[in-house]
Amino acid sequence: MNRKKLTLAIIVLWLTGSVWAATSITSDGNETSKLLVHVEQGRDRIAPEIYGHFAEHLGRCVYEGFWVGEDSDIPNVRGIRKDVVEALKKIQVPVLRWPGGCFADEYHWKEGIGPRSKRGRMINTHWGRVIDDNSFGTHEFLDLCEMLDCEAYIAGNVGSGTVEEMQDWVEYMTSDSDGDMARLRRQNGREKPWRLRYFGVGNENWGCGGNMTAEYYADLYRRFQTYVRNYSGNRIVKVACGPGGTDLRWTEVVMEKAARYMNAVTLHYYVRGSGNWTDKGSATEFDEKEWFALMKNTLGADETIAKNIEIMDRFDRRKRIDLFVDEWGTWWDAEPGTDPGFLYQQNTLRDAVSAGIFLNVFNKYCHRVKMANIAQTNNVLQAMILTRGKEMIVTPTYHVFEMFKVHQGATLLPSELVCHGYGARNQQIPELVASASRDAGGTVHISICNLNPNSDSQLECLLEGLSPQRVSGRVLTAEKMTAHNTFKNPDVVMPTRLNGSTVDGDLITVTIPAKSVVVLAIK
């Protein structure tokens, strides 16, 4: 099919509402999916922070995942395990959120500074009621961020904390003055202040962060944020607590009452299969019905983000406020034989495809979505990394982040996709989900997810404004939809070279394997 016919076919289907939801494409007699990328129309930058991460004091995310202590026989630097840091640097972690999560609104930072032998011991009431000895605190977290060369995103305590406590914390971390908090920091071994970019005023205050009404939280936010001040040239992005899932009223109330006092507002969006929140289903034992349910639920993030942005636009016409999806991911029942309060789950190819959908959606809305933080980095929920003592493996989702890192800081390219539907007649979702960007060197990258676990998808791609010279690609897939990496077999799911891509004039033709994530590089 030539450029004119392909462009016309996509425009017609776009105008008739068939883009992203076509069950079959029969223009000019073939059945290929079609993607039109407008290379010269790119305007919005994909913030690297969209590929951010989240580390809560939950299960083995921080303790054993990051922190093993200086005396551990696990190789470490100042108590932080080397293998995890090295693995995360390979995916270019741009920002790390800490200490929660629900834990944030019961965390009192002064118990986690100074000599570790003198630090307070607290009960982690949200996650297993284990004792947290505060050996990993402010200094250790900000040391970790410097090792990763990433921005720090701290969630402050509104639920059980005080205004004074929050004010002191910000001053302790960022002031270069001769005040008491800066002196205390120096006494604890850090002469110069840290650069702190992001500070969240509370977390899930509609739930575990205090069970507040939107009106009450909005008033509290206005009060607390007043004392999140900028010291010594540091400029903080103040982040308000937004809704969980589809609670649009929360967004509306908080935006109406507090928009002028915030730089960003959050959204949390977790997904599962066909189960409920009490019985979420197994991470590794599922059938195609449950696969389909997860893909459908993940696609729901698109509509939810769009609706939140509509509300934000009403109260912030200058588009000054960013949307941070600072908790997202799949959530399954804890692995058998593990503490349910630790939220340890395996991570399959199904999770990887879901992650690819999420990231493509975040790219799509990068004009407003400026950060996203998958939950969580190590050993919890949809983790990048699993550890077992000295052993460490990476998950299929880790590989998605490694493949998609090419989008960080690139320019989003508008695109239209026409593809087949997947599912039963009365419940269909698009077979493919994609996004495209152009990096500073001019290379175009297209990330594509094939949601259909049964069929490859033939894709014709036209780059309007670029004559491609060569195309290469990588693919993440496996024989079984339940495939996952284990300590015994750590490389069951890992990226490989994608073969069979062709360039014919202006047209690229590629086969997207069933149940896969693909990233193309086009020059």
pLDDT band per the 50, 70, 90 thresholds, residue 276: confident
- Retrieve residue 330's tokens: 């799949």
Residues 347 and 442 in one domain: no
- CA–CA separation, 192 and 174 (whole Å): 8
Same domain, 438 and 515: yes
Helix ranges, 259-315 (H): 288-315
pLDDT (tens digit per residue) in 449-498: 999 999 999 999 999 999 999 999 999 999 999 999 999 999 999 999 99
Spatial distance between the Cα atoms of 168 and 123, rounded to a whole number of angstroms:
23
Q: Distance between CA atoms of 20 and 31, rounded to whole angstroms?
A: 15
Same domain? For 340 and 429 the reply is: no
Show which of 408, 423, 445 is a domain's final residue.
408
Q: Are residues 381 and 470 in the same domain?
A: no
Burial category of 386 from C-beta neighbours within 10 Å (exposed 0-12, middle 13-18, buried 19 and up)? buried
Q: What is the CATH number of the domain that holds 452?
A: 2.60.40.1180
49 is catalytic: no
* Residue 222: HSE in the Cβ half-sphere, 13 Å Cα cutoff: 13
Structure tokens given for 492: 């069951």
Are 22 and 13 in contact by the 8 Å Cβ rule? The answer is yes
Residues found in the chain: 523
Single residue among 408, 429, 459 that ends a domain in this structure:
408
Question: Do 363 and 506 fall within a single domain?
Answer: no
Mean pLDDT of 129-133: 96
Instruction: Give the bridge partners for 522, in sequence order.
Output: 444, 471
Cα 158 from Cα 160, distance rounded (Å): 6
Could you tell me if 242 and 342 lie in one domain?
Answer: yes
- Rounded Cα distance, 81 and 486, in Å: 20
Give the domain extent around 447: 3-44+412-522
Q: For residue 380, report the phi and psi dihedrals to the nearest 5 degrees.
A: -135, 130
Confidence (pLDDT) at 213: 98
204 is catalytic: yes
Residue 236 has pLDDT above 80, yes or no: yes
pLDDT(18) > 50: no
Question: What is the tens place of the pLDDT at every residue in 191-230?
Answer: 999 999 999 999 999 999 999 999 999 999 999 999 999 9
60/193 same-domain check: yes
For 410-419, write each residue's pLDDT tens digit. Answer: 999 999 999 9
Q: How far apart are CA 322 and CA 309, in angstroms?
A: 9
Give the contacts of 464 (CB within 8 A, at least 6 positions apart).
3, 7, 36, 37, 38, 39, 40
Q: Measured in Å, how far apart are the chain's first and last C-alpha atoms? A: 21
Q: Are 266 and 240 contacting, i.e. CB atoms less than 8 angstroms apart?
A: yes
Please report the pLDDT score of residue 259 as a whole number. Answer: 98
Judge whether residue 33 has pLDDT over 60. yes
Whether 402 and 452 map to the same domain: the answer is no
Which helix (H) or strand (E) element contains residue 474? Answer: strand 471-476
| Averaged pLDDT, 72-85 | 98
My answer on whether 399 and 418 are in the same domain is no
Percentage above 70 pLDDT, the chain: 94
What sign for the dihedral angle of Cα 127, 133, 137, 143? negative
- 353 and 419 belong to one structural domain: no
Hey, is 42 helix, strand or coil?
A: coil
Asked if residue 192 lies in contact with residue 246, where contact means CB atoms within 8 angstroms, the answer is no
Q: In the structure, what pLDDT confidence band is assigned to residue 31 with cuts at 50, 70 and 90?
A: confident
Q: Which residues pair with 218 in a beta bridge?
A: none
Structure tokens at 54: 């989240």
Residue where a domain stops, chosen among 367, 383, 408: 408
Name the percent of the chain lying above pLDDT 90: 90
Please give the sequence-ordered ranges of beta strands (E in DSSP) within 313-366, or none if there are none. Answer: 322-330
pLDDT at 16: 36
pLDDT value, residue 21: 32
CATH number at residue 319: 3.20.20.80
Residue tagged active-site, from 171, 204, 290, 431: 204
Number of domains in the chain: 2
The H-or-E segment that residue 517 falls in is strand 516-522
Mean pLDDT of the chain: 93
Options 49, 327, 402, 431, the catalytic residue: 327
**Tokens read off for 2:** 């030539």
Same-domain status, 174 and 300: yes
Tell whether 422 and 274 lie within a shared domain.
Answer: no
